[in-house]
Structure 1
Amino acid sequence: MTDTRRRLLDALAGADGPVSGPTLADRLGVSRAAVWKQVEALRAAGFDVESGADGYAVRSVPDYGGDAIAYGLDAPYAVEYHDRLPSTNDRARERAVEGATDRLVVAGEQTGGRGRLDRAWASPPGGVYASLLVRPDRPPAHVPIFTLAAAVAVTRACREAEVDAVIKWPNDVLVAGSERKLAGVLTEMEGEADRVSWLIVGVGANVDVAASDLPGTATSVRAEGGVADRRRFCQRVVETFHGLDPDEVLPAWRDHAVTLGRAVRVETPGGTVEGKAVDVESPGALVVRTDDGERTVHAGDCEHLRPADGN
């Protein structure tokens, strides 16, 4: 998507009524012919753009796609859309190497999606597969907080879509009760000892996907009877993630967590930690109360063993 197209979308989305061609040309710093060309491109992409004596007005937006996601997106990211990709994280990494930043890479379908620990991630059509490329002014040790922030953003998007979602440490989004998986987050980065060079936050969410197209342990917003609007879901994830203050992330994560208070087994690089999950602390470590005292787990594969007894 060109910068002119994005600014045109912003101008049309933010208007209370029709906007004239001369006004758009002046605001965008382009000719009226260029405005007309971009409007025609939007129409070709499925937008219903009405033109009259007063100017241009958007009457309807496509269900999904790069321009549709960018239209009304309240966050400063360029949207790059593909019908199909092996992996949005891999594409975002290519863009990072090229020097890009503040870019949202979205695919209608992934053919090589993956989750944490290099596990395969089913990515059929109808899901939201998106990777956000940013360059935060933070040391690498702070990166886990961005993973937790993304989990919070996805959980809130699920709840806005009328599905009661919760978070399993550190980044799995589940349906409350059944604990079937709705979404996951995969964060990747490159950096030096004192700063992050680039950070990619990848989200895979089952939104408008039939239950028959998913593994038995997974579900979707549609299958749970929620509002399966991929465009709005993707926008809300990005907007919420962008708007979260780092100091807000841990309290928000705790509010949505299903892991805290549960008996857990965590497989870590240093061995198995088993006990009761009692807290999460900066930048995203799980505190587990074991028979030998509290252990702080910074990374691992967490399994819920049974409901907590409240002790």
Structure 2
Amino acid sequence: MNETRRRVLDALADGPVTGPALADALDVSRAAVWKHVEALREEGFVVESTDDGYVLESVAEYGGLALEYGLDAPYEVEYHDAIGSTNDRARELAGEGASDVAVVAAEQTGGRGRLDREWTAPRGGVYVSVLVRPDVPPAQAPVFTLAAAVATANAAREVGVDAGIKWPNDVLVPTDDGDTRKLAGILTEMEGEADRVSWLVVGIGVNVDVSTAELPPDATSVTVEGGTADRRAFAQRVLEGFHVLTSGDPSDVLPAWRERALTLGQRVRVDTPGGVVEGVARDVEFPGALVVETDDGDVRVTAGDCEHLRSAE
């Protein structure tokens, strides 16, 4: 966000303020103040002109300015009405040396999930890729995926959706018949050296205000589940939650993940690069390995596709 425009918004949030007072406080011309106010109006902010000065009546529904306004996390927001992939754009920014950027899109035309699977990303969802440069070794990168899953599940619960996490990164909603439907997916990519991460991009795609007709058969959305579908607030809660979880000791993410886990205690089948592992998921160990109790003892799985098996199986 333009820094002067941010300060204009901050001033408007405190109550009526006149154009001359804004110009003096920001050390800009009155014409510049007017241009910034007009730009805010074009973005969807409702700014009224009253006898007491400018008054901010309401915030834009969505967009870069709206997402940064009131965001309690240190991310610059780069917003796109439509883009192929927010992860791809975040990777481009990483190559340019950027950091602490959240690339957000109203729609993705080339969204992808793990193993380059297609990810449906229609309008109404929250699609954000966070670019960070954490001072951690590459081996600890999986914990950032867990943190994103926790932040997303928590945001969903705040708006009335009973979401949980399937290891390692799918946010699901349990159904009455014991099945689940997918609410969100996460794709983490990174570049690093032997001892440290150079950059890390965590892509989060959430079905928020998306109708059943626009969703795959095994998916759901905040709207479908009867939750409050405010994309701006949802995206902010995800970003703020991710920032809090990744700002301290990385190992502190695990207790939060366990609290939201749907996988622990379930009989699972995990398709790993080394073969299929089947048994009961007992725990998750730092930085994100799933501990599966098999007939041959405990197996620690660091990567793979996890399937929850019905108890009858």
Match of 2:286 among 272, 282, 285: 282
CA contact (8 A) 1:9 1:70 kept: no
CA contact (8 A) 1:109 1:125 kept: yes
CA 1:5–1:287: 2 relative to 1, 3 Å: same
CA 1:287–1:25: 2 relative to 1, 3 Å: farther
Shift of 1:4: 2.7
Match of 2:240 in 1: 239
Deviation readout 1:155-208 (Å, 9 max, x if unpaired): 011111111000000010000234100001111111111111111111100000
CA contact (8 A) 2:251 2:287 kept: no
- 2:305 is the counterpart of 1:304: no
CA contact (8 A) 1:114 1:121 kept: yes
Match of 1:135 in 2: 133
CA contact (8 A) 1:89 1:131 kept: yes
Counterpart Cα distance in 1 of 2:251 and 2:268: 26
Match of 2:228 in 1: 227
Shift of 1:65: 1.2
CA contact (8 A) 1:276 1:308 kept: no
Q: RMSD of the alignment, in Å? A: 1.9
- 2:118 is the counterpart of 1:120: yes
CA contact (8 A) 1:151 1:172 kept: yes
CA 1:53–1:76: 2 relative to 1, 3 Å: farther
CA 1:29–1:144: 2 relative to 1, 3 Å: farther
Q: If the length of structure 1 is used for normalisation, what is the TM-score? A: 0.93
CA contact (8 A) 1:262 1:308 kept: no
Q: If the length of structure 2 is used for normalisation, what is the TM-score? A: 0.93
Q: How does 1:253-272 map to 2 (within 5 A)?
A: 253-272=257-276
Secondary structure of the 2:136 match is coil
CA 1:283–1:171: 2 relative to 1, 3 Å: same
Match of 1:172 in 2: 170
Secondary structure of the 1:145 match is helix
Aligned length: 307
Match of 2:2 in 1: 2
Q: Note the residue ranges of structure 2 that are not aligned, 5 or more in a row.
A: none
Percent identity, please: 70
Counterpart Cα distance in 2 of 1:135 and 1:12: 33
Match of 2:213 in 1: 212
Shift of 1:266: 0.7
AA paired with 2:276?
T
Q: How does 1:47-66 map to 2 (within 5 A)?
A: 47-66=45-64
Shift of 1:46: 1.3
Deviates more, 1:82-91 or 1:237-246: 237-246
